[in-house]
């Protein structure tokens, strides 16, 4: 059946916006990790002594043996090496930066797992696997992963 619209002069569209307040709990481990960045400008990780693996970002249980390692905090370096990267070429309001920007996986000195973060101050054409980078911390309290603002080439 087709719709016969005789009077469409008053049809219009109402623009609206729905706001959804969200609260994401960083967790006890995540909180300690971010607070160490904020208060000590340090990057830390959790280490499984048995498997000799240091996890950055930290995790409560060892991925290999499953042991609880929540209390075994170790300091890792603020420098590291890019082990993988991608270049973000599109803009969206949920993204942290304007395109193009580099999202790198950085294996910090002393860590065994890579940390994904923004790599700035380098031309996307020049970024490569094996590039040495260092962490740049945010000035004030941010209390999110962005407490570690970005990585830049050494």
Strands 101-108 and 73-76: unpaired
Residue 21 interacting with other proteins (CB under 8 A): yes
Nearer to other proteins, 71 or 123 (CB): 71
Among 1, 2, 24, 128, binds other proteins (CB under 8 A): 24
Identify residues 115-154 at the interface with other proteins (CB under 8 A).
Answer: 143-144
Angle at 97 between CA 96 and CA 103, to 5 degrees: 85
3-state DSSP assignment of residue 36: helix
Nearer to other proteins, 35 or 51 (CB): 35
- Cβ atoms of 151 and 115 closer than 8 Å: no
Residues at the site binding other proteins, with contacts judged by CB under 8 A? 5, 7-8, 10-28, 30-31, 34-35, 143-144
């Amino acid at each position: 059946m087709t719709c016969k619209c005789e009077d469409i002069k008053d049809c219009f569209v109402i623009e609206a916006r729905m706001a959804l307040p969200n609260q994401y709990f960083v967790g006890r481990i995540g909180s300690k990790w971010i607070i160490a960045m904020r208060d000590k400008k340090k990057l830390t990780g959790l280490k499984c002594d048995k498997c000799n693996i240091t996890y950055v970002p930290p995790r409560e249980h060892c991925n290999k043996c499953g042991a609880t390692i929540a209390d075994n905090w170790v300091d890792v370096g603020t420098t590291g090496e890019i082990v993988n990267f991608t270049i973000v070429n599109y803009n969206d309001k949920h993204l942290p930066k304007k395109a193009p920007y580099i999202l790198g996986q950085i294996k910090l000195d002393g860590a065994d797992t890579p940390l994904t973060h923004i790599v700035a101050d380098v031309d996307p054409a020049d970024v490569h696997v094996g590039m040495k980078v260092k962490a740049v911390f945010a000035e004030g309290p941010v209390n999110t992963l962005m407490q570690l603002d970005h990585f830049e080439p050494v």
